[in-house]
Structure 1
Amino acid sequence: MLTEQFITSIAAQTKANTGITKDTGIFVHEFQPLAAQRHVFKKSATAPNGLAVSKSHIFAAQAGKSLVHVYSREKGNQEAVVPFPERIHSIALAAKDTVLLLGTESGRVLAWEICSGRLVSTSTSHLQPVTSLAVDAASKFFLSGSPDSMIHVWALPSVLSFSPDTSRSPMHTLSTHRGPIASISCGHSSSTSNIAVSVSEDKSAIVWNYRTGQALRTYLLPELPSALTLDPADRALYIAYADGSMQTLDFYDEFQKITPVDMLQDVASSHRPIQPSTKSRFSAESQKLGAALCLSVSWDGTTLVSGHASGKIASWDAAKRNWLSIITNLPGPVTNLLFLEPVGFPNAKVTPFKLHTVVKPKQDLGPTTGSALVPSNYSLTMQFTGRLPGQPVSATQSNVASKTEFEQALSHPSFPQSMLEDSLAELASWDAPLSSTNGNAAPTADFMSLEGDENATGQAAAQLTPTSQTGELAELRKQLASLQRVQKVTFQQLSELREENAYLHGLEQQQQQHKKRSARVGAHSKSQQKVTNGKGGSTEDVEMSDASSSDSSSDSK
């Protein structure tokens, strides 16, 4: 059965709730098929945009502190408390949940490899704390937002590179907003046309092509936005406001249905801001939900779930744009809400590795030595869950596509003529003497030559070696002689194959000539028969006339 859950967190408990433990701060709820609370994690007061969840662990950045709490989903307990040099305002997972990005108070981003403990820092590019992070679907780029109204686009491979010459500065800076960045979200596509959306306190929402830094579309919002989320198919944008209301911005409207051009990617219309219709906004005034602080959408894209400052978690119908129900009521403001990947698919992909424990960050792994880029004390801690992906090997079936040209020729009745000619040309180049610097011909020292005998080669080797010969040099000479024998046998086989190929070509030419002669004889006999039929005489008469004509010609001579 398909099971879908979401995880949520609160900043701090502000009201008494007898059904929940006092120090509980993270909650796991089952959304379908049965709406119920499944698990809780204690000792956490999570900041907004400070919750990240992998298949094995939960990471929670503590509000107003430089600590990140790590929880094990399998064991259901707190695994570690990780301190950092400064306060953490936002976090996000990347690279198949092996890297945790942390936005700091100083305006830089830290990249923590949770399976090795390596900690990398970007340059300080923001003037204020990094309050929002978003990673694209391919984990090649990530975006950082700040109250300084700037959005920076970073290349994750460059940030994680071991090379000291690699730049850890932003690739692009998206500076169209004129107010603090409230939230950022990346699209679900891995193609080059993937989008990102940002909302700001300047009452605007902008759709970006973050790879090029181009603003694709600008929406003018009626209120201050507090959170956003994208449709699973990137068809629409959902925005939550401080008054508890929601709004749907459809990227593909009625005009898009009658034109073949993708209007969202049309740069020509990007300079015109759009005022959304008032019908796209909806709320539940009778429920007194309070300000919406976080927003997420279900796996099938039909239901919105929002967390509010009153502690209520509400569900909304995304298609009909109306309120459905109150899922639960938590004892504090709901700062984060994330839908987990559904479980129960019959052919679900299994992750090839598993992280049992999280390696705490190491401030300095030490400089690299020599020509190696990876530090000597760098190590990974993970467990493989199955066989590593590789090319299948069969004893009965051969993969012809993976064979080289020479391997295919070995299984063929004869070698191609071009391959034999190339081999003989290469052999001729080996037999050619090497030229010395003074222009005189110098004897070749290449063991691939067929001209020199083994005794001469041994004498040359004896001249090059010191008088005190060791067992190692003797073994090398044995290997050299063995290689020469193998070479001679190989070249002999090549010459035999060439002769065989020439013999087969001769037979084929003889057969073709024989066929041509047979065709000419048959054509001549047919022409004689036509002549005989035209004169009305028999074949014997024609032969006699031919004989008499030949006799008369001889008499005249």
Structure 2
Amino acid sequence: MLTEQFVAAISVSTKPNTGVTKDAGIFVHEFQPLVAQRQALKKSAAAPNGIAVSASHIFAAQSEKAIVHVYSREKGNQEALVPFPERIHSIALAAQDSVLLLGTESGRILAWEVCSGRLVSTSTSHLQPVTSIVVDPSSNFFLSGSSDAMIHVWALPTILSFSPDASRSPMQTLSTHRGPISSIACGHSSSTANIAVSISGDKSAIVWDYHNGQALRTYLLPETPTAVTLDPADRAFYVAYADGSLQTIDFYDDVQKTTSIDVLRDSASSHRPIQPPPKSRFNAESQKLGGALCLSLSWDGTAIISGHASGKIALWDTAKSNYLSTPANLPGPVSNLRFLPPTGFPNAPEPTFKIQAIVKPKQDAGLTSSVNGLIPPNYTLNLQLTGRLRSPHVSATEKRSAGRSAFEEALTHSSFPASMLEESLAELDSWAAQPKGASASTADFMALDEGSASTSDSSGKAQQAEVKELKKQLASLQRIQKVTFSQLSELRDENDYFKGQEKKRAERTKTRAKRRTGANGATRKQTNGDVEMNDGTDATSGSESDDTDAADES
């Protein structure tokens, strides 16, 4: 059975005499198949855009505090209380929920690896607090918005790189807004055509091609927006306002129906602001909801929930643009809402690792990088590998499947090639032999997609291509050597086998000869005895004859 849940957080302490668990600030509700509260976590007052939810943990940045609360979803309790040097205004998870990005009050961003404790800081690119952080589906990029009306686009692999030469500055700066950034929503595509939508205090919403730093379309809103979320198919986005109303803004409106050109990406119309029609705005006049503070869209895009200042969570039908019900009434203003991915799909892929417990950031050495660009010797990962590696179909006649390297095939094979182990040991030995102070040019452990900007020059690319070709030749020679040694071993075994067979044949021939010689000697001896016996009989007969003759003569 499919189950869908959402997480809600309030921004102030709980009200007395409400019948809710004391100091409860984060609530886990089941949305389908039965609307009900499933879990309540204590002692939290989360800031707007201040919660991040993984499969195992919930992170909550505390409002007006330099503290992040970490809760275990499995145990249902607070696992850690992590202090930071300054207040945290927004957080987001990236890299399969293994990295927590934190927007600080000073305008910089911290990247905390929750399974190693490593803490990396960017440059102070924002002039005011970072109010919103959103990560694209590939985890190669993330966007940060600030009260200074600026949006920066960052490359996460560069920030997490161990190389001291890695630039921890933004790749792009989107500076069209004229007011503080309230929220940012990122599209669902992992390609370079992905988009992002930002809303600002200047009553505008802008659709961005953040890979190229271009504003695709600008919408003039009727009031100051407070929250935004994107449709699962990236066809439209939804905006919330301070009066509790919502608005649907469709990218492919009536203008798109009359032309074959993608209006959203038409450069000729990108400079013209668009004012959405008033009929696209809807509210629940019969309900005293209060101002809308946050939004979240269901997995299939058919329902949207909004959190309000009154503590109510309203459910809306996106197709009919009308109010449905109030699935929850919390004891404080709802500052954060997050729909969780549905569970219960048959044959759903399992994660390859699980983070059992988070490792607190190392404040003393977390902001320093490696001297020579290599992984520090005290760098350790605290995680659990789950399940088995995916073993593809292996055939002796078919070529290697596209997108799979020799290492991936060796990793899923029953035995690991000795040549690959020797090559790895030789590479490690060459790393250890580098002189102190030398800067090692190592590749990032998380590669950017094909559309990302490359910082290496032509000579570096030529050297990398040459090294890659040499490695291929070395691997071919090692395979030939391995096959040759195998053939020599087989020939040696075959030679020993034939020698053994020849030796056994010679021994059998010698044994037969001995037996034949012994049989011939016995035959000759028996024949000689018979001859001697016959001679004795004749002599006796002769003597008897002589005696008879003598008697006759007398």
- TM-score where L is the length of structure 2: 0.71
Whether the aligned pair in 1 keeps the contact of 2:164 and 2:369 (CA below 8 Å) is no
- 2:511 alignment partner in structure 1: none
Deviations 1:411-464 (A, max 9, x none): xxxxxxxxxxxxxxxxxxxxxxxxxxxxxxxxxxxxxxxxxxxxxxxxxxxxxx
1:315 and 2:315 aligned:
yes
- 1:376 alignment partner in structure 2: 377
In terms of mean alpha carbon deviation, does 321-330 or 186-195 score higher? 321-330
Amino acid across the alignment from 2:29: H
Query: Distance between the aligned counterparts of 2:17 and 2:257, measured in 1?
Result: 50
SS at match of 1:264: helix
- 2:341 alignment partner in structure 1: 341
- 1:111 alignment partner in structure 2: 111
Query: Distance between the aligned counterparts of 2:125 and 2:167, measured in 1?
Result: 13
SS at match of 1:13: coil
Q: Call closer, same or farther: CA 1:353–1:369 in 2, change over 3 Å.
A: closer
CA apart distance, 1:288: 1.2
CA apart distance, 1:266: 1.6
- Output aligned runs, 1:445-464, within 5 Å: none
- 2:193 alignment partner in structure 1: 193
Query: Distance between the aligned counterparts of 1:254 and 1:347, measured in 2?
Result: 41
- Output aligned runs, 1:42-121, within 5 Å: 42-121=42-121
Q: Call closer, same or farther: CA 1:365–1:151 in 2, change over 3 Å.
A: closer
Q: Call closer, same or farther: CA 1:400–1:151 in 2, change over 3 Å.
A: same
- 2:388 alignment partner in structure 1: 387
Query: Distance between the aligned counterparts of 1:100 and 1:375, measured in 2?
Result: 20
Whether the aligned pair in 1 keeps the contact of 2:118 and 2:362 (CA below 8 Å) is yes
- 2:540 alignment partner in structure 1: none
Which stretches in structure 1 are left out of the alignment for 5+ residues?
Answer: 404-482, 494-557
- 2:355 alignment partner in structure 1: 355
Query: Distance between the aligned counterparts of 1:46 and 1:328, measured in 2?
Result: 18
Query: Distance between the aligned counterparts of 2:16 and 2:323, measured in 1?
Result: 26
Q: Call closer, same or farther: CA 1:369–1:91 in 2, change over 3 Å.
A: closer
RMSD: 2.0
Amino acid across the alignment from 2:69: H
SS at match of 2:268: helix
Identity of aligned residues (%): 71
- Output aligned runs, 1:144-223, within 5 Å: 144-223=144-223
SS at match of 1:279: helix
- 2:240 alignment partner in structure 1: 240
CA apart distance, 1:402: 3.6
Q: Call closer, same or farther: CA 1:66–1:384 in 2, change over 3 Å.
A: same
In terms of mean alpha carbon deviation, does 337-346 or 260-269 score higher? 260-269
CA apart distance, 1:365: 5.2
Amino acid across the alignment from 2:399: A
SS at match of 1:287: coil
CA apart distance, 1:18: 3.2
- TM-score where L is the length of structure 1: 0.70
SS at match of 1:143: strand
CA apart distance, 1:87: 0.5
SS at match of 1:400: coil
SS at match of 2:130: coil
Amino acid across the alignment from 1:249: I
Amino acid across the alignment from 2:382: T
Whether the aligned pair in 2 keeps the contact of 1:355 and 1:382 (CA below 8 Å) is yes
SS at match of 1:159: helix
Query: Distance between the aligned counterparts of 1:183 and 1:389, measured in 2?
Result: 38
CA apart distance, 1:327: 1.2
Bigger relative CO (Cα 8 Å, ≥ 6 apart): 2
Whether the aligned pair in 1 keeps the contact of 2:164 and 2:370 (CA below 8 Å) is no
Q: Call closer, same or farther: CA 1:247–1:361 in 2, change over 3 Å.
A: same
Query: Distance between the aligned counterparts of 1:347 and 1:260, measured in 2?
Result: 40
- Output aligned runs, 1:482-497, within 5 Å: none
Amino acid across the alignment from 1:385: T
SS at match of 1:256: helix
Amino acid across the alignment from 1:91: I
Whether the aligned pair in 2 keeps the contact of 1:2 and 1:33 (CA below 8 Å) is yes
CA apart distance, 1:256: 1.8
CA apart distance, 1:258: 3.9
Query: Distance between the aligned counterparts of 1:391 and 1:328, measured in 2?
Result: 46
Whether the aligned pair in 2 keeps the contact of 1:304 and 1:318 (CA below 8 Å) is yes
Query: Distance between the aligned counterparts of 1:79 and 1:35, measured in 2?
Result: 27
SS at match of 1:185: strand
CA apart distance, 1:227: 0.3
